């Protein structure tokens, strides 16, 4: 209860410090952003790099993890997540185009074990995934039925678990050890070169994209305004 009462006061102090930069015709301060590896490295990096170059007196802290975080309780200025569904006291701003997830494997693996035609066929394949940070279970793969649009879940019996590492999942597929499910931009270069092959494309799940979210009482912060302008699609 004490934290709930004092938290707005702390945020007001932070906002007042942020606003001091307006007297110097520059932005100065710090921003702590919570997100995940894919968002920071593959989707937003060129925008974040430009932000750092444009505002040399702003310290930008990027915290990469897969668990859901209470950004207020853990003193983050903003968070990044898929979709715009956030708490009512949060502002959500779209910062990326829609994203597609692909199931990929090496040509050698698919030549030996065959190409799955439906998600049900994956039960006969070596499928590798990561562990859910909340429940500890294996991360399920989402699919969308090509005709009905119904969302289907496949629960892989993963022999290899690569937690919070899309690069390691890609390496597993390149090694011919089986199939992995990752965002298509992570493996686009390997798909273009033929090192990896995408399967079940008709069933691929498409997400609405990443959103930056932050408490609505911080919406007038000059630092957050600058970040939103830099990341907005």
CA distance 67 to 228: 23
**pLDDT exceeds cutoff 90 at 116:** yes
What is the per-residue DSSP string for 62-128?
A: EEE-SS---TTTTT-SEEEEESS---TTEEEEE-S--EEEEEEE-HHHHHHH---SSGGGGGGS-EE
Q: Which of 43-47, 99-103, 229-233 has the lowest mean pLDDT?
A: 229-233
Output the pTM of the full model: 0.79
- Does the pLDDT at position 123 exceed 70? yes
Instruction: Provide the pLDDT confidence category of residue 165 given band limits of 50, 70 and 90.
Output: confident
- Residue 4 in this model has a pLDDT that exceeds 90: no
Q: What is the mean pLDDT of the chain?
A: 89
Of the candidates 35, 46, 37, 40, the one whose C-alpha atom is nearest the C-alpha of residue 170 is 37
Integer Cα distance of 148 and 226 in angstroms: 42
Report pLDDT digits (tens) over 32-63: 999 999 999 999 999 999 999 999 999 999 99
Q: In a 10 Å sphere around its CB, with 0-12 CB exposed, 13-18 middle and 19+ buried, how is residue 73 labelled?
A: exposed
- Which of 22-31, 69-78, 150-159, 207-216 is predicted with the least confidence, judged by mean pLDDT? 22-31
pLDDT at 88: 77
What does the pLDDT average to over 184-203? Answer: 96
Residue with tokens 């110097």, as numbered in its chain: 24
Confidence of residue 24 (pLDDT cuts 50, 70, 90): low
Which domains are assigned to the chain?
A: 2-98+209-231 (3.40.190.10), 99-207 (3.40.190.10)
């Amino acid at each position: 209860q004490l934290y709930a009462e004092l938290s707005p006061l702390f945020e007001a102090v932070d906002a007042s410090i942020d606003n001091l930069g307006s007297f110097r015709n520059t932005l100065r301060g710090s921003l702590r952003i919570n997100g995940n590896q894919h968002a920071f490295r593959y989707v937003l990096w060129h925008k974040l790099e430009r932000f750092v170059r444009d505002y040399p007196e702003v310290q930008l802290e990027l915290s990469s993890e897969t668990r859901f975080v209470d950004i207020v309780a853990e003193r983050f200025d903003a968070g990044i997540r898929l979709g715009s569904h956030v708490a009512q006291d949060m502002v959500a701003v779209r910062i990326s185009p829609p994203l597609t997830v692909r199931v990929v494997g090496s040509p050698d693996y698919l030549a030996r074990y065959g190409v799955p035609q439906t998600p049900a066929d994956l039960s006969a394949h070596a499928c590798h995934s990561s562990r859910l940070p909340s429940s500890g279970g294996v991360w399920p793969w989402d699919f969308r039925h090509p005709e009905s649009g119904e969302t289907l879940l496949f629960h892989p019996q993963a022999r290899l678990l690569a937690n919070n590492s899309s690069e390691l999942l890609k390496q597993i597929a390149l090694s011919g050890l089986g199939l992995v499910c990752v965002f298509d931009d992570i493996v686009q270069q390997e798909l273009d070169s033929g090192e990896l092959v995408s399967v079940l494309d008709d069933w691929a799940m498409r997400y609405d994209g990443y959103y930056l979210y932050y408490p609505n009482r911080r919406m007038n912060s000059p630092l957050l305004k600058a970040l939103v302008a830099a990341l907005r699609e």
